[in-house]
Amino acid sequence: MLALLSVSDKRGLVPFAQGLVRLGFELLSTGGTLAALQVAGVPAKKVSDYTQSPEILGGRVKTLHPRIHGGILGRPDHEGDQAEMTANGITPITLVAVNLYPFRQTVASGAPEAEVIEQIDIGGPAMVRASAKNFRHVTVVVDPDDYESVLLELERSRATSEDTRRRLMRKAFAHTAAYDASIAGWLSKEAGEPFPHELSLTFQRVQGLRYGENPHQRGAFYREHSAPEEPTVAFSRVLQGKELSYNNILDLDAALGLVLEFPEQPCAVIIKHNTPCGVALDESLVTAYRTARAIDEVSAFGGIVALNREVDRACAEALAETFLEAVIAPSYSAEAQQVLSAKKNLRLLEAGPGLASPTARPRAQLEARSVSGGLVLQDKDAVEPPLEWKVVSKRAPTPEEERALRFAWRVCKHVKSNAIVFSNGSRLLAAGGGQTSRVDSAKIAVARGGEALKGSAVASDAFFPFRDGLDEAARAGATCVVQPGGSVRDSEIIAAADEHGMAMVLTGVRHFRH
């Protein structure tokens, strides 16, 4: 029996090869894989010795040979195949363990184009695809995590079952498809073409989910193949708690995106149903959290919390006072973990030190949403708040009002349209969003905020189509407003602001969030 081993990822290679030799396999190998086997004392034959054809072009051509591909693709139950194999001295290869050149890792390392190009594997995908095509007779293994189960099955039955070979076939084609998609994606990025004619997206499954948005819906969680430099939910470390749910993941992502808007000082964000219900800044993280929670304690119950500094014991004790679904933070002190360990169902996610950086910002990436029969793709709304705003009212905002306006504008981007946000310079006061009219969002925010809105700043994610929304904000006590502008009624809205004695600034940037 012949097995061909040629792997970039050498995890578990030697024990797997040793097991195959014990079972009577003769091993063929190439390059670094052959060297690793020889160092471990595992007998293996060099592919070029087997084919009697030298490796050429600096190793670019090693396995592209009839004795290799004929051995993989030959069908023992096909009379014509067997006659040709015998005539050409081709022996069947019944097991192929191949994974591909480290293309993604090379790209992530910042290597120059020529080096990246050399990591585009040719012979590897050809062998994987050939083996997968001939799955009825060949066992193809692309993932070292499958070595143990394949060996156990071979030891037990002297062969792998068709169900196993079919499972490995599906995995093999997914492996090469993801590899090619990564290459196509890199080429598009290098060409400055974010929206190519043919779009291939590739992700790895992190885990299956108990269900999706509702119990009758299936769900799974996927992430990119390589961890980005920026903090993400997908690459955060889960320290404790129940298994993450579909809704947890969405809310954690919303919370992380909002807390990244305020890297300059300790910030606490509370999200409920993908909507901010508490946002606060303070020099002390625990005070920021308590302030955020106090904004809407009813909604904070069962919420998702994001924090941008390490959680210490005092903050952990505050978190433990309320039932929460999950917390994401850069890190947790040993004392904090001890306190929160009593909350066995509370999910704790550690996003890493990047989240605590005073220069942390949301990722400038593409985001996709599915629609019936397709998807829409766009740049993520990660635009920086403008440093210079256009003052259009008779009165310019005071420095304190400007600070409040900038806070409200950053939060507003994370509230569903039509979004109306009231704040002071360090905390959310009230928000209304997800309504079909802007005035209804304003009324909801006013009803929630009450007396706390006196002296506040108000932000609107898009222009005011009529003055009614602005009038609601003024009656509630807001003294200044930030909005994109661009309505045919801008002059009417500006006049209303002057009538109320409000300062108004225009950003020229809209933040719809559908």
List active site positions. 133, 273
Cα–Cα distance for residue pair 241/212, rounded to 1 Å: 19
Consecutive H or E run containing 404:
helix 399-412
418: cis peptide before it, omega within 30°? yes
CA atoms within 13 A on the CB side of 341: 7
Residue 183 per-residue DSSP state: H
Distances in whole angstroms, Cα of residue 263 to Cα of each of 278, 358, 452, 457: 17, 5, 26, 21
Residue with tokens 């080429």: 187
Distances in whole angstroms, Cα of residue 130 to Cα of each of 92, 124, 260: 13, 10, 47
Q: How many residues does the chain have?
A: 514
CA atoms within 13 A on the CB side of 337: 13
The structure tokens listed for 388 are: 């210079």
DSSP code string of 63-129: S-SHHHHHHHH--TT-HHHHHHHHHTTPPPEEEEEEE---HHHHHHTT--HHHHHHT--SHHHHHHH
